Structure 1
């Protein structure tokens, strides 16, 4: 299987985030890429550098207002006397239907959903190369590869069309799906991250051409809290094109594999021409977030099941944080996918 990654993706190096009101070291560290690369190589992947694809594929998902903000906010932030080293919002609108602020502080609150995605001087470049890795994997599949892996870091599935959140800046899985739409009449996204892909859901919530399915820890007491519940089905033309399958905390292999069955029924009913797998390895039993309890062999079984759908597939890296088994979990998934 081809895999795509650019070294510039390591430049983004967030220092901290707030968790339950307390500052903590940010778990979305550059070292993730080193361990994921080891896992991909152990699975026999040929690692290739993506091409620079320009802003077009990113702008097909994200608003120009947001792109302008993200590219320039760090420079603007540094002009504020006493500002923090990284851009971190300290104010959020209760609703986003008011006026658009001119100040850097106000725009940070508008375009950053939480405090988990600090912006530094390197964030824009790293996020672009992360997105281009997903685009390159989509290009490989469009050229006939049965599957391709994008080592996309920073991750993406919490990013909305006009907002960063949850360590995410550009929604790489959505960008890959939109790029596949150049050839595919219908694309399905299956998100198997520990956390619900709220940004991905939001981007496609009113669209009938992209089906979004997510299996994740029940958000009633877990991030992202406000999205990911089973009654969220889409709206307008997209009604019936979104399926959420929340699992009780600490659910393991069997519960996850069982949840794949209704996911597969919905995907088959949609009859997509291609699939994007938003791969979060943070559902692992030993992941620092501790929400679900999937084992390393469980990731192989998960991959074998998804691969049996027989769809051209772009596998986009989402979560999965520093633990001893991170490399092995990716190896298990990619090996399981390639075995079918």
Structure 2
């Protein structure tokens, strides 16, 4: 399996987050990306870094806008600059109000926009959030292009969970899909700090085997899962299960 990695996969994440009413150190640390990378290497993946998004930002932006709302993307691109221009602003954008659908005027003030677009005080915006998001998008788009060109696999337990996964797999086959994109989240692990599932490391091996049984060209797009000591092993189990 080939792994296409964001050029910013080792970038420092947010400093803190709001968890059950307390500010705590954020779980999204640079070590998370490093451990995922090592897990891919342990599983025998060939890894390469995606192109820097700055080189083709206009075409990348066009691809993003084909999926996401333009106002939302404009906000992400300019949020930190507008926020940091306010006097006494924090280094990271936290929402502290929550506008709702009953408000009939869209307020452009940075504080109002933060409340409108950020729905979770664990998902902050900092100086490099937009750049890092572009790096992730660049990796996924490059991986999808490899899949389209003919590569069969690219990477960018509870019984009840596995039964549900088998049901989902059958739905994919019934639909007649020509390829499969898997949003790969290891926050289903039993020790994930914000997770609520009870999967063990060996569960990901079974998940990988089930996905392989669909016999579809597959792209794994890395998504969730905070840093825990078993993260590297969980990644390895998923890939080895798929490759077996």
In the alignment, does 2:90 pair up with 1:84?
Answer: yes
Give the alignment's Cα RMSD to 1 decimal. 1.6
CA distance in structure 2 between the aligned counterparts of 1:8 and 1:72, rounded to whole angstroms: 19
CA distance in structure 2 between the aligned counterparts of 1:80 and 1:12, rounded to whole angstroms: 24
Structure 1, residues 25-61: CA drift from partner, whole Å, max 9, x if none?
1111121100000000111111112133521221111
Name the residue aligned to 2:227.
Answer: 322
TM-score (norm 2): 0.92
> 1:94 Cα shift?
2.3
Distance 1:12 1:71, change over 3 A: farther
Name the residue aligned to 2:169.
Answer: 264
Alignment map for 1:2-13 (pairs within 5 Å): 2-13=2-13
The range that moved more, 138-147 or 22-31, is: 22-31
In the alignment, does 2:68 pair up with 1:58?
Answer: no
Structure 1, residues 102-143: CA drift from partner, whole Å, max 9, x if none?
211111111111211111111111110011111111111001
Ranges in structure 2 where 5+ consecutive residues have no aligned partner = none
> 1:289 Cα shift?
2.8
Structure 1, residues 317-340: CA drift from partner, whole Å, max 9, x if none?
11122211110110010111122x
In the alignment, does 2:174 pair up with 1:280?
Answer: no
Name the residue aligned to 2:243.
Answer: 338
Ranges in structure 1 where 5+ consecutive residues have no aligned partner = 151-251
Name the residue aligned to 1:70.
Answer: 76
Runs of 4+ aligned residues of structure 1 deviating over 4 Å after TM superposition are none
Higher RCO (C-alpha under 8 Å, 6+ residues apart): 2
Asked whether the 8 Å contact 1:10–1:126 carries over to 2, the reply is no
Residue 79 of structure 2 aligns to a residue whose secondary structure is: helix
Alignment map for 1:124-135 (pairs within 5 Å): 124-135=130-141
In the alignment, does 2:54 pair up with 1:48?
Answer: no
Give 2:205's match in structure 1, choosing from 284, 300, 316. Answer: 300
In the alignment, does 2:104 pair up with 1:98?
Answer: yes
* Larger Rg, first or second structure (1 or 2): 2
How many aligned positions are there? 238
TM-score (norm 1): 0.67
Q: If each structure's helix is expressed as a fraction of its own residues, which one has the higher value?
A: 2
